Chains A and B, each alone.
Chain A
Amino acid sequence: MEDLIFNLFIFVLASFVGFELISKVPPTLHTPLMSGANAISGITLIGALIIAGGSGSVFSQWIGFAAIVFATINVVGGFMVTDRMLEMFKKKEDDK
């Protein structure tokens, strides 16, 4: 039970940090923000690694394998596509 309370503290505090961080993002960046945040949610990959590489039945390792594939698509694809978008955001060059 203590674990649960402790984890809930972390969860709630992190949510507040999240609210604070994101409420200041200008609309221009909402799409990259969303796809970047999306990539971060692929952090579940860490859990998948433990399932796929840990002790357990071959069946659970296959589940872990599927989880790794899914999460890696999310992480690699998410960060790369965000970078591709942000690369295009340019300031007006002062050559006029």
Chain B
Amino acid sequence: MSQFLPEAIQSLIPNIIQIIYLIATGFFIVGIKRLGSPSTARSGNQLASFGMLMGVAVTLFDQEIISFEFIIAGVILGALIGAFAAKKVQMTAMPEMVAIFNGFGGGASALVAWGEISRLDPSLFDIQSLATTGLSILIGSITFTGSFIAFGKLKGFINGGRVALPGQNYINLILTAVALALVGWFTIDPASQPVFWALFGLALLIGVLTVLPIGGADMPVVISLLNSYSGIAASMAGFVLGNNLLIISGALVGAAGLILTNIMCQAMNRSLVNVLFGSFGGDEGAGGGPDTGDKSYQQTFADDVAIQCSYAKKVVIAPGYGLAVAQAQHVLKEVANLLEDKGVEVKYAIHPVAGRMPGHMNVLLAEADVPYDQLYDMEEINPEFKSTDVVLIIGANDVVNPAAKTNPGSPIYGMPILDVDDAKRTIVFKRSMSPGYAGIDNDLFYSDTNQMFFGDAKKSLQLLSTAIKELD
């Protein structure tokens, strides 16, 4: 586009582009910073998107760009698909959406590296560019196929459990080592087509094989990690092109993904190595022991729950993914409103892995108009359970299982949980007595202070709402 400008300006363009890139970088950093607080988050996202618009617009003036047919067609097609998906997606399906967007981002970075090497004579590349081209293709391709497998698992197209060959972990390690060796080979001999294609194909395969064995319950970790990969892939593409904006933005995203991965691992009390190479909710679900025997539990019904809640001072609601599956967020909010009208203090206790991705439950409740200052993180709410009269546990199981604190043999031992057993009364909304996602029996159900309210979460909450209204 630069050819349309006066010559005096043309000579300045490379510098102008760099300065705009610098400003865009600032927008990204301030944007991410503002994403850190609920009151400024929306403006932060808008700031970042504006930075992106600036970066893209000014790049069109790059003297290297001489034709626009592909650019216009590509941007229009991509924008239509992206906008359509963003408008249509259900909030419960947000993890799938993020996973697939991630995959596209990683795939784009791999394509950029491939395009650059096929566009120019490889002999023009120095060692740095070649090595980063190889890495960009490797990481970008792993992100691409890995994200699609994660998407399939979350959607239920692919078996959510552990799908693995015997010795899968060793196979993956060996394949990764081979792939890194191929990056080295490619750096030395970039003109070799077989080496290039072997690297590309192997990277795509590794993405499939590393995500396939990971159980559905671990998907929050996987999505966070793939998010990090997509950032690193973009950063590597920046090394290839010598573009600082790409390097910096990619590094920011890479760091963000790593931190979230770490937070998710801590919330499940597992190391990253254990998530990637161990199995959970698979076939080794011993430990907790199947000694369900004849422990007894108390059952309760809507009228009784209504009375207990209405005459309580403080009610805490502990929602889990089951709430979202039953699409019961709105009824829940209705129940909470009714209780608040009666002067009951209502709070929500959100475990870090309550949804299918970090912070997912908060989004689902926000969609049901629950104000965010009623949502409490685990650390904030745990000391409060002692002064809580009733805890309503809806669609959650493992995150309130006291075995995590008391039973060293349990697979979830050590995982931080919501200390609901400190409360005077817990009421578990559940379909039946079946164990949860991790397949572990929950002693809370048999506690003296606990009552079970059986049924579909949405129906139960509707019954509860009616029962509370009838109390007046």
Q: Contact between A44 and B112 (Cβ–Cβ < 8 Å)?
A: yes
On chain B, which size bracket covers the interface?
Answer: 35 or more
Closest to B114 in A: A63
- B166, CB-defined interface residue at 8 Å: no
Given contacts A79-B45, A88-B363, A91-B371, is CB(A18)–CB(B118) below 8 Å?
A: no
Q: Give the most central of A41, A49, A60, A80: most B CB within 10 Å.
A: A41
Given contacts A54-B119, A60-B115, A83-B46, is CB(A14)–CB(B70) below 8 Å?
A: no
Given contacts A21-B32, A73-B85, is CB(A47)–CB(B255) below 8 Å?
A: no
Q: Give the most central of B62, B74, B109: most A CB within 10 Å.
A: B74
Interface residues of A in 50-96 (CB under 8 A from B): 50-57, 59-93, 96
A70 surroundings in chain B (CB, below 8 A)? 78, 104-105, 107-108, 111
**Bound CA–CA A62/B74 (angstroms):** 10
Q: Contact between A18 and B105 (Cβ–Cβ < 8 Å)?
A: no
**Bound CA–CA A7/B340 (angstroms):** 56
B243 surroundings in chain A (CB, below 8 A)? 46-47
Q: Contact between A46 and B59 (Cβ–Cβ < 8 Å)?
A: yes
Q: Contact between A43 and B78 (Cβ–Cβ < 8 Å)?
A: no
B352 surroundings in chain A (CB, below 8 A)? 27
B38 surroundings in chain A (CB, below 8 A)? 26, 28-29, 89, 91
Query: What number of A residues sit within 8 Å (CB to CB) of B?
Result: 86
Q: Give the most central of B55, B97, B244, B363: most A CB within 10 Å.
A: B363
Q: Contact between A36 and B108 (Cβ–Cβ < 8 Å)?
A: no
Given contacts A30-B359, A34-B227, is CB(A44)–CB(B109) below 8 Å?
A: yes
Q: How far is the CB of A74 from chain B (nearest CB, A)?
A: 4
Q: Contact between B82 and A73 (Cβ–Cβ < 8 Å)?
A: yes
A44 surroundings in chain B (CB, below 8 A)? 105, 108-109, 112, 233-234, 237, 246, 250
Q: Contact between A37 and B253 (Cβ–Cβ < 8 Å)?
A: yes
B377 surroundings in chain A (CB, below 8 A)? 26-28
- B249, CB-defined interface residue at 8 Å: yes
B101 surroundings in chain A (CB, below 8 A)? 35, 38-39, 42, 73-74, 77-78, 81
**Bound CA–CA A67/B66 (angstroms):** 17
Q: How far is the CB of B156 from chain A (nearest CB, A)?
A: 20
Given contacts A38-B101, A76-B83, is CB(A51)–CB(B223) below 8 Å?
A: no
Partner of B234, one of A26, A41, A54, A55: A41
Q: How far is the CB of A93 from chain B (nearest CB, A)?
A: 7
Subset of 20 A-B contacts with CB under 8 Å: A11-B235, A14-B252, A28-B372, A31-B358, A31-B359, A31-B363, A32-B363, A36-B44, A39-B49, A43-B55, A49-B65, A50-B62, A65-B73, A66-B111, A68-B70, A70-B105, A74-B101, A74-B108, A77-B83, A79-B48
Measured CB to CB, the residues of A under 8 A from B are 1, 3-4, 7, 10-12, 14-19, 21-57, 59-93, 96
Measured CB to CB, the residues of B under 8 A from A are 28-29, 31-33, 35-39, 41-42, 44-46, 48-49, 52, 55-56, 59-60, 62, 64-68, 70-71, 73-75, 77-79, 81-83, 85-87, 89, 91, 94, 97-98, 101-102, 104-105, 107-109, 111-112, 114-116, 118-120, 126-128, 223-224, 227, 230-231, 233-235, 237-260, 263, 340, 350, 352, 355, 357-360, 362-363, 366-367, 369, 371-375, 377
